[in-house]
Amino acid sequence: MKLQLNGAPVEMQGATLTDLLEAEGFGGAKVATAVNGMFVPAPLRAGHVLNDGDSIEVLAPMQGG
């Protein structure tokens, strides 16, 4: 399946947002996620099925001000 991850094209074999995060090295990280502009909370990622062409944003919290 072809996706956009943080603006870059990626291909993945899994089906869910959790599968993508693990495949791309975000498995245990504290991150915020959005699919096609819609926020997906951490507890719902395992059940969020991705579709070909989806755009996923993964953001890590930053300190500062």
Domain range spanning residue 46?
2-59
pLDDT of residue 60: 86
Please report, for the domain that includes residue 32, its CATH number.
Answer: 3.10.20.30
- Kindly give the residue spans of alpha helices, DSSP state H, lying in 1-65: 17-23
Does any domain span residue 65? no
pLDDT of residue 28: 84
| Token pair recorded at residue 1 | 């399946």
Per-residue pLDDT in tens (0 to 9) along the chain, 65 residues? 999 999 999 999 989 999 999 999 998 889 999 999 999 999 999 999 999 999 999 998 877 76
Beta strands, E only, 2-61 = 2-5, 8-11, 32-35, 38-40, 55-59
